[in-house]
Chains A and B, each alone.
Chain A
Amino acid sequence: MSSPFPTPDAGNVESVRVTLNPDLGAELLVSVRGVTKTFGKLRALDNFTMNIHAGETYGLIGPNGSGKTTLIRIIVGLTKPTTGEVSILGQKVPNRQIAKDIGYMTQSNALYQELSIRENLEFFGRIYGLHGQHLRERVEAVLETVDLAERSRSIVETLSGGMKQRVMLASTLIHEPRLLLLDEPTVGIDPELRLAFWDHFARLNAEGVTIIVSTHHLDEAARCHRLGLMRFGTLLAQGQPSELTQLSGKETMEEAFLYFATRHKDQA
């Protein structure tokens, strides 16, 4: 049986020991309760339950079609679940009050191609209520983070794929959200940049930002506090990366996933 994961690439993220920020405790940030989503006959999510703690990076791992994107879109409020509900910081989603605390990033380049990087950032900043000096400071800050300060006047259309991805990340961070939902943020970007992104995610965690990220890269999985293995809209297994490998008695995450997938099939 062929592996559902792409072969690990050369730019492996080093295994880093991840610990939760002790100051935050286990405050519940996102609560997904019994969420099912059907599109006609297709069941994208099946009675999904999951809790995300403040300050952690939670990785969603699974093949295409496992429901990762649907789950993220439901949490963010773009799609309504067929049954079940999601709450963020105790508020049922979608909720305009918490909109300003959420940052959402997709792989598609949801940017205004005719505008410059700076103009895009200023626009999104203003939509989130930033203005004046504060806006200017945040624009400079995120440009620094993604290392595009020198090209801030470039028109987005003229940028390479990786640069556009960086601009996307910058625009997601500009309003200093407490919760980040990242749907495969590192697809199509080079290993060096991937490392830079994940270094930044670790810094954000240290500041108390919660991150839910879906990924195919297993070396990235190792840098998450906890992982949720998904397949066919259900949670196969959940826990710290080390726990999952231990539990399955396997060496690599890939094998651990296969283990849980097979076990699930047998139980069904």
Chain B
Amino acid sequence: MSLMRISALALRIVRQFLRDPRTLALVFLAPILVMTLLNLVLNNQSSAATLAVVLPIGSDPATTQFNQTLRQVLGMQSDSLTVKYINASDASSTLDKGDANGVLIFPADFATQLQQRGATSEQVHLRLDGSNPGAAKALSNVVSALLQSLARQSAPTGTAGASTAADSSLNVQSDYIPANSKDYTQTDALAPLFVGLFAFFFIFLLTSVSFLRERARGTIERLLISPLRRGELILGYVLGFTLFAVAQSLLILLFVIFVLRVHYAGNLGLIFLITLALTIGSVNLGIFLSTYARNELQVIQFIPLVLLPQGLLGGLFWPVNSLPIVLKQLAYVLPLTWANFGLKDVMLKGKGLEAIWPDLLVLVGFATLMVILSTFTVRSESA
């Protein structure tokens, strides 16, 4: 064992990397970037759940009193709950658009009936969005607790029988939109997002390394001087890699559906369409970025840049709507965010083409932009 030889090797390694600013950035800046992002997201999330409430209607004292009490009680809830007050006519669209995780609907004359008779003919209605199981459960609990406390406060004084009647009128009828999302677990909610994430990440990596090797070996030069057009080169790569990506997506979906037994509501064809659009973008991003890499290590250095923002901000762990404003805007620029919107809508809410076409449009736009960029930047090792 020679200390001299060992330290000669260590010194050489240190020198090599001091001359490699990109690797240094990877090692030192990437963790800082991740920690900053995480910190921003975790501490500034606006809320865990949003509840929309349709209050009883009327200007009589009973209703006014009830509404005031209700607002008070809701106002005292923890910061993790956001409450909105909406009209009955907006109930469906609020839930549909994802502006709230649940809608609590009181019949219009609820307060008056309660006071007069101690019971109501209609029940309180809670409609929950099952695509976010965590929020749905939270709201369910909040509403039960809320109604219990309201029952105690609003019960007409007097007979014992009356208070029992009051209790039962404050039971809530809940249903989930879409219908089978009642049983959704966290796995169900995450499955669509993993389809998108894997498609994007692995295909990007595969394409950029492959294209880089084409340049490193010199085969790209042979292609550049041949009758092959640059556009044809790019499209050939897109076709080749998309085949793999589609096969991968198929495998993931089959596994998720048949082995993990995840619930899903929507059309498989649409899921493929979204994945396809995402993949084409990611293939071309790979080709484009590989222009700026001289070797495989440098391609790997792109991974934090490409994957981390999309993984953290794309809706995988926290809903995009709950991100702080700056990060939310950044999220809207990332392709995976839009793929996630589309995949969630299809897989968890069973929506169709009419709902996801904006997402597809963005993905196609991103793919087109990447194709154009790649075509113009494709070059040999030494132009």
Main secondary structure of the interface of A (DSSP, over half): loop
**A124 CA to B383 CA in the complex, in Å?**
22
Most buried by A among B217, B219, B221, B225: B225
Partner of A108, one of B217, B224, B226, B229: B217
Are A76 and B222 in contact (CB-based, < 8 A)?
no
Most buried by A among B219, B223, B380: B219
Are B226 and A128 in contact (CB-based, < 8 A)?
yes
A interface footprint on B205-239 (CB within 8 Å = 1, 0 otherwise): 00000000000011101111111110000000000
Partner of A76, one of B219, B225, B229, B382: B225
**A100 CA to B218 CA in the complex, in Å?**
19
Are A78 and B225 in contact (CB-based, < 8 A)?
yes
Instruction: Judge if A31 is at the interface, Cβ distance under 8 Å.
Output: no
A interface footprint on B363-383 (CB within 8 Å = 1, 0 otherwise): 000000000000000001011
Instruction: Judge if A79 is at the interface, Cβ distance under 8 Å.
Output: yes
A interface footprint on B345-368 (CB within 8 Å = 1, 0 otherwise): 000000000000000000000000
Interface on B for A, CB 8 Å cutoff?
217-219, 221-229, 380, 382-383
**A171 CA to B219 CA in the complex, in Å?**
12
CB distance from B231 to the nearest CB of A (A): 12
**A127 CA to B228 CA in the complex, in Å?**
6
Instruction: Judge if A111 is at the interface, Cβ distance under 8 Å.
Output: yes
15 contacts between A and B (CB under 8 A): A78-B224, A78-B225, A79-B382, A79-B383, A94-B225, A100-B227, A104-B225, A109-B217, A109-B218, A110-B217, A111-B219, A112-B217, A112-B219, A113-B217, A127-B228
Instruction: Judge if A90 is at the interface, Cβ distance under 8 Å.
Output: no
Instruction: State whether A96 and B219 are in contact (beta carbons under 8 Å apart), knowing that A78-B224, A78-B380, A79-B383 are contacts in the complex.
Output: no
**A77 CA to B226 CA in the complex, in Å?**
10
* Interchain residue pairs A-B with the least CB separation, the first 4: A110-B218, A99-B227, A108-B218, A110-B219
Instruction: Judge if A129 is at the interface, Cβ distance under 8 Å.
Output: yes
Instruction: Give every chain A residue within 8 A of B223 (Cβ-Cβ).
Output: 127
Interface size on A, as a range, is 20 to 34
Instruction: Give every chain B residue within 8 A of A124 (Cβ-Cβ).
Output: 222, 226
Instruction: Give every chain B residue within 8 A of A76 (Cβ-Cβ).
Output: 225
Instruction: Judge if A218 is at the interface, Cβ distance under 8 Å.
Output: no
CB distance from B210 to the nearest CB of A (A): 11
Instruction: State whether A96 and B229 are in contact (beta carbons under 8 Å apart), knowing that A104-B222, A124-B222, A127-B223 are contacts in the complex.
Output: yes
**A129 CA to B226 CA in the complex, in Å?**
10
CB distance from B326 to the nearest CB of A (A): 42
CB distance from A72 to the nearest CB of B (A): 11
Instruction: Judge if A102 is at the interface, Cβ distance under 8 Å.
Output: yes
Instruction: Give every chain B residue within 8 A of A77 (Cβ-Cβ).
Output: 225
Partner of A128, one of B221, B227, B380: B227
Instruction: Give every chain A residue within 8 A of B225 (Cβ-Cβ).
Output: 76-78, 94, 99, 102, 104
